[in-house]
């Protein structure tokens, strides 16, 4: 089972928590903390900006592709929804 599905299952196993899911919040905060320990967001942003400047056409195509379809139309999206 991949990490995303595992985390989703972890949250779904909890009982209804009313408005706002404490377990989902806990999982989200844990994942954000883990990401920040392993990555420098400023450095990643600079790298992304540099990549876009080097090859803007590729990124423009990706944006247009994302706008042309909705989630669920792509077979790869079936596990995400």
pLDDT digits (tens, 9 = 90+) for 4-32: 555 556 655 657 677 778 888 999 999 99
Contact indicator for 11, 24 with CB cutoff of 8 Å: yes
pLDDT digits (tens, 9 = 90+) for 56-68: 999 999 999 888 8
- Res 71: pLDDT: 61
């Amino acid at each position: 089972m991949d990490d995303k599905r595992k985390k989703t299952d972890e949250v779904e196993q909890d009982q209804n928590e009313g408005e706002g899911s404490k377990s989902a919040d806990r999982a989200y905060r844990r994942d954000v903390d883990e990401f920040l320990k392993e990555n420098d967001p400023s450095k990643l942003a600079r790298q992304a900006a540099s990549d876009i400047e080097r090859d803007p056409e590729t990124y423009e195509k990706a944006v247009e592709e994302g706008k042309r379809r909705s989630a669920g139309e792509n077979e790869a999206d079936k596990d995400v929804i």
